[in-house]
A and B are shown apart, each in its own frame.
Chain A
């Protein structure tokens, strides 16, 4: 079965600083999803990456998938308090018809 390792497990960053979260898969990824969750709430879709070397950006968040499609990174530029939460990477073994396997999440705290 596929396993996703996220690092770091938790991160405290001063407001305005940049940060990176990593997600490594034990197998080649068909699709890699990034979601944000606030504790006890649902998941907010951030981005989906499918092609090796693909990079997507939305506002101050950039996600990349490496060429071998086994590692992804999520980079936040000039962090803000609204970025605080739990970031989860999820992997699809097939298309949208497959459920996702999730990493354990990275808990991000932004210090003012």
Chain B
């Protein structure tokens, strides 16, 4: 149980385009979803927290207009990287938490974004 999926697993895009990443909790309802970013050989850094039906809370230094988060249902959150630039190239990982899993955060497999 407690499976979280992400799609796509890898994406390559041109600079200036937008990319959408989906995060789904497959077997539990995620009241809260989190988006993290991981640069090579570094640890995960929290970008934002989203609760179903409400606006996401962004960490300091993360541009909310650049990283659009939508948590439309209890099983789906999306992260859209708008007008992507090469410096946005990174590994994006989501996690989901819910009452059914006693608030433990379960992570998706990650999405590797490469902006050319």
Residues of A within 8 A of B (CB): 33, 35, 40-45, 48, 88, 90, 95-105
A104 surroundings in chain B (CB, below 8 A): 42-43
Dominant SS among interface residues on chain B: strand
B34 pairs with A99, CB closer than 8 A: yes
Residues of B within 8 A of A (CB): 2, 4, 6, 31-32, 34, 36, 42-46, 49, 51, 59, 91, 93, 95, 97-98, 102-110, 112
Question: Whole-angstrom distance between the alpha carbons of A33 and B36 in the complex?
Answer: 16
A99 surroundings in chain B (CB, below 8 A): 34, 36, 46, 49, 59
A95 pairs with B103, CB closer than 8 A: yes
A43 pairs with B93, CB closer than 8 A: yes
Q: Could you tell me the distance in whole angstroms from the C-beta of B99 to the nearest C-beta in chain A?
A: 8
**Do A102 and B44 contact each other (CB < 8 Å), given the known contacts A40-B110, A41-B109, A97-B97?**
yes
What are 15 pairs between A and B in contact, CB < 8 Å?
A42-B4, A42-B6, A43-B44, A44-B107, A45-B107, A90-B44, A96-B102, A96-B105, A97-B31, A97-B32, A97-B49, A99-B46, A104-B42, A104-B43, A105-B43
Question: Whole-angstrom distance between the alpha carbons of A35 and B49 in the complex?
Answer: 19
Q: Closest 8 CB pairs between A and B?
A: A96-B103, A99-B46, A42-B109, A43-B107, A96-B97, A102-B43, A99-B34, A42-B107
Question: Whole-angstrom distance between the alpha carbons of A42 and B91 in the complex?
Answer: 10
B102 surroundings in chain A (CB, below 8 A): 96
**Residue with the greatest number of chain A CB neighbours at <10 A, chosen from B34, B43, B103, B107:** B43
A45 surroundings in chain B (CB, below 8 A): 2, 104-107
B104 surroundings in chain A (CB, below 8 A): 33, 45, 48, 96
Nearest residue in A to B10 (C-beta to C-beta)? A40
Question: Whole-angstrom distance between the alpha carbons of A40 and B95 in the complex?
Answer: 15
